[in-house]
Amino acid sequence: MIAIIDYGMGNLRSVQKALEYLDVPSKITSDIEEIKNSSKIIIPGVGAFPDAMENMKKMGLDIVVKEEAKKGKGILGICLGMQLLFEESEEIIKCEGLGLFKGSIKKIKGNVKVPHMGWNNLIFEEDCRLLYGVKEGSYVYFVHSYYAEIGQEKILNAYTLYDRKIPGIVSKDNVFGMQFHPEKSGDCGIKMLKNFGEL
Q: Residues with catalytic annotation?
A: 79, 181, 183
Angle at 193 between CA 175 and CA 58, to 5 degrees: 50
> CA 95, 75, 146 angle in degrees (round to 5)?
35
Please, is 116 exposed, middle or buried when counting C-beta atoms within 10 Å of its C-beta (0-12, 13-18, 19+)? buried
Burial class (CB in 10 A: 0-12, 13-18, 19+), 187: exposed
C-alpha–C-alpha distance, residues 197 and 191, integer Å: 10
Output the CA angle 32-36-42, nearest 5 degrees.
Answer: 90
